[in-house]
Amino acid sequence: ITQGSSARMTPETKTLPIDAVIIGLVDAVRVEGHEVFNRDAAD
């Protein structure tokens, strides 16, 4: 979590009027028991 002007220092957020951003790393995503994303299987 970062707040203030540092929150705008990514390519995705540099032009957005934001005050805070949460950035995380995702290893896997499961939806209703089905794996829809796995970092190890991604290209």
Percentage above 90 pLDDT, the chain? 35
Whether the full predicted model's pTM is greater than 0.75, yes or no, is no
Average confidence (pLDDT) over 35-41: 93
For the chain, the domains span 2-38
The span from the CA of 23 to the CA of 13, in Å, is: 11
Average pLDDT over residues 11-22: 84
Which pLDDT value is given to residue 35? 96
